[in-house]
Amino acid sequence: MVGWRGEAEMKRQEHIAEAEEVAVRIRIEALKEGGYLGMSPDVPGLVAEGRSIAETIEIAQGLARKIVESCREHGDPLPAVFSKARQKTREFLVSVPMP
């Protein structure tokens, strides 16, 4: 019998298994006037500007999601980095209770 904690852990793992994530390269450079500019060689058109590196990365992540949503909505092909991700075998780290 699986206890409450076990059920919650299984649901979390199922949620993780359903999540689809792709590693996208972001090149960040400091701007002379302050702030940072991030661009991706993997996602054409992705250009993000932020006050810090963390903010720039966060903006870039959001833009990458929007680009994928737009491609899907308009029937355009996804950037190659997203297409390759669907073809690869994925690995997940799962916890196994020891008896």
* pLDDT string in tens for the chain (99-residue length): 445 455 555 444 444 444 578 888 999 999 999 999 999 999 999 999 999 999 999 999 999 999 999 998 999 998 888 876 555 566 666 777 777
Q: pTM of this prediction?
A: 0.65
| pLDDT in the model for residue 1 | 47
| pLDDT in the model for residue 88 | 57
Closest by Cα among 21, 4, 9 to 91: 21
Closest by Cα among 90, 93, 81 to 9: 93
| pLDDT in the model for residue 73 | 93
Q: Please, what are the domains in the chain?
A: 22-87 (3.30.160.250)
Number of H helices, E strands in the chain: 3, 3
DSSP 76: P
